[in-house]
Amino acid sequence: MSVLKQESIEKIVDTMTAVILKNEVYFCELDSAAGDGDFGMSLAKGFKELQKNKENLDRSDIGSYIRSCGDVIAENCGGASGPIWGGAFKAAGRYASGKASLTLTEFAEMLRSAAEGIQKRGGAKPGDKTLLDALFPTVEALEAAAKSGSDNIAAALKSGAEAAVKGAEATKSMIASRGRASYVGDRSLGFPDAGAQALGVIFTEIANADVI
Amino acid sequence: MKKIINSPENLVAEMCEGIAKAHPSLEFLPKYKIVKRKEINKNKVTLISGGGSGHEPAHAGFVGIGMLDAAVCGDVFASPSSVQVYNAIKATASDKGTLLIVKNYSGDCMNFDTAKEDAADDGLTVDSVYVNDDIAVKDSLYTIGRRGVAGTVFVHKIAGAAAEQGKSLAEVKAVAIKAISNVRSIGFALTSCTVPAKGTPTFEISGGDMEYGVGIHGEPGIARQPLETADKLAEKMTKALIADLKISSSAEIAVMVNGFGATPLQELYLFYNSVTKFLPTDIKVYKVFVGNYMTSIDMVGASLTFFKLDEELKKLLDEKSVTAAFK
């Protein structure tokens, strides 16, 4: 049975960092349609700092590694992104505490903890036009792959990425009720949620990267 | 983009340095981007506000006697982190406790709340209030509610005056909530603002159009419409505020005409003149503030705030305040 070793988890975080830095301007543009246009910048600020502190992260196990990433992100991402993305990493880190590798089932459960961490901090639920509308479908796709007995992690990551992209697409027909896009009411219709769309891009690149 | 800056990354820190140097009773803590009073009075409730930068003079311009003790400065239009807010709480801790005055935005609420919890774990007494004066935003169970805009300045003033009188944390919080429930604002913009790090306007708008019901971050308003005259706008906004505040006859109010950063004062005063034409004669204007208090960098536009007063609020509004931007 194949598992995700700590090395793979670190590669996933590195890929995520690279995608966020590469798409800083694009992610800001996504946020300009109904929000205030700073999402890409806020997010990149935290991950730039993560890249700078790469050598100082706690690597004693997967949980400590992800949690220490979360601390850097929470302190350095601007605006709402700090508590949301930092909180997600910290919740995932707590789940993976003491683990040296993750099965597909555990990886899915870890992402579920992250999603629930975001939900606890921000109070959003699925359908509110937030990044949760991409994250929960990804979690469900990974859980379904794990349940089917597959140990093909690369294939599961692909189906997770497709679910995120589809979830982000579906936010176009939702009216925002959280974050600054909620202030414009119906005018957020027709645009995807910036966070959900970004997750679609991030998971797609992770699935295409050679992380296993 | 044409801006008087050195680099977008250092804008907030260099601006705060400038504020502290221009106003010697203030000091700037660069590590956590906190502008605070040099002398912290441990025998009064301390008040902290803040949020994203780009709203100058808010909030550092309201730090001083009779208003705030510290302003925590985030990046342009982005909430400060919980670590920044936590350090502001520690740097201004008093025997009577600390009140956080938070504008109601997802990011600010999450970061200030996290800081409040962390400080409480350290045994510090901290409470918070959330300002939500913008009537452009629909307030319903399904949204995070209205956002905080220019009316926040009145909350700083009222809570600051009460704190300076030596009132308890519970009393200061109560009067801050009273101010919040009696203040309402509505704004409009003729142009977008340009966030320095992005370098281009946040939204595109054609020459003959305006955005009605905008916020203070270049986020779109509730409607795009052809540009209207000052009188037409003033009539619509005055009526909307009176209706939302349920101002009855013989009420007394304070009025704020707030520029968004790039509106000439001549237009702000002209606009106030228009407002007076549509105020019912039995509503008494107790005090008027015209100027730039809660800006949106270089946006052209303005907001109108009505603050319904009773005897207690009138007295507090008349108290002395010595700050860079509010007298």
Nearest CA in chain B to A179: B106
- pLDDT of B224 > 80? The answer is yes
Q: Are A120 and A86 in contact (CB under 8 A)?
A: no
- pLDDT of A177 > 90? The answer is no
Q: Quick one: pLDDT at residue A2?
A: 82
Share of chain A above pLDDT 90, in %: 76
pLDDT digits (tens, 9 = 90+) for B100-154: 999 998 889 999 999 998 899 899 999 999 999 999 987 654 557 899 999 999 9
**Which residue from A38, A81, A182 is facing B195, i.e. has the nearest CB?**
A38
- pLDDT of A180 > 80? The answer is no
* Residue found by looking up tokens 């194949």 in the block: A2
Looking from the CA of A141 toward its CB, the CA atoms found within 13 Å total 22
pLDDT digits (tens, 9 = 90+) for B172-196: 999 999 999 999 999 999 999 998 9
Task: Please indicate whether, in this complex, the C-beta atoms of A79 and B78 are within 8 angstroms of each other.
Answer: yes
Nearest CA in chain A to B74: A78
Whether ipTM exceeds 0.90: no
Q: Quick one: pLDDT at residue B160?
A: 98
Q: Quick one: pLDDT at residue B139?
A: 60
Q: Best of A81, A180, A186 to disrupt the B interface by mutation (most B CBs within 10 Å)?
A: A180
* Omega prior to B57 cis, within 30 of 0: yes
Query: Taking CB atoms and an 8 Å cutoff, what residues of chain A touch B218?
Result: 36-37
* Residue found by looking up tokens 């196990």 in the block: A61
Phi, psi of B240 (to 5 degrees): -65, -40
Q: Quick one: pLDDT at residue B141?
A: 47
Q: Best of B55, B76, B106 to disrupt the A interface by mutation (most A CBs within 10 Å)?
A: B106
Structure confidence at residue A89 as a pLDDT band (50, 70, 90): very high
Angle (CA) B50-B53-B57 rounded to 5° is 75
Point out the catalytic residue in the list B23, B55, B59, B156.
B55
Nearest CA in chain A to B32: A75
Give the tokens for residue B150. Answer: 């220019």
Structure confidence at residue B251 as a pLDDT band (50, 70, 90): very high
Estimate the crossing angle of helix A6-22 against helix A24-32, to 10 degrees: 60
The alpha carbon of residue B15 is apart from the nearest alpha carbon of chain A, in Å, by 18
- pLDDT of A149 > 80? The answer is yes
Query: Taking CB atoms and an 8 Å cutoff, what residues of chain B touch A34?
Result: 219-220
Give the tokens for residue A157. Answer: 């990551």
Annotated catalytic, B59?
A: no
The alpha carbon of residue A61 is apart from the nearest alpha carbon of chain B, in Å, by 25
Annotated catalytic, B156?
A: no
Structure confidence at residue A151 as a pLDDT band (50, 70, 90): confident
Alpha-helical (H) ranges within chain A are 6-22, 24-32, 39-52, 62-76, 81, 87-95, 104-122, 132-147, 153-170, 194-208
* Residue found by looking up tokens 């706008």 in the block: B233
Q: Taking all residues of chain A, what is their mean pLDDT, rounded to a whole number?
A: 92
Q: Is A72 helix (H, G, I), strand (E, B) or coil?
A: helix
Task: Please indicate whether, in this complex, the C-beta atoms of B195 and A37 are within 8 angstroms of each other.
Answer: yes
Q: Residue B45's closest CA among B178, B174, B167? A: B167
Interface size between A and B, measured as CB pairs under 8 A: 111
- pLDDT of B298 > 90? The answer is yes
Strand partners of residue B212:
B188, B223
Query: Taking CB atoms and an 8 Å cutoff, what residues of chain B touch A179?
Result: 106, 144
- pLDDT of B309 > 80? The answer is yes
Angle (CA) B93-B95-B97 rounded to 5° is 60
Most distant CA pair in chain A: distance in Å? 49
- For residue A123, how many other CB atoms are within 10 A of its CB? 13
Which amino acid belongs to residue B162? A
Q: Quick one: pLDDT at residue B209?
A: 96
**Which residue from A75, A78, A187 is facing B83, i.e. has the nearest CB?**
A75
Q: Are B154 and B128 in contact (CB under 8 A)?
A: no
For residues B259-278, average pLDDT: 98
Task: Please indicate whether, in this complex, the C-beta atoms of B198 and A28 are within 8 angstroms of each other.
Answer: yes
Q: Taking all residues of chain B, what is their mean pLDDT, rounded to a whole number?
A: 95
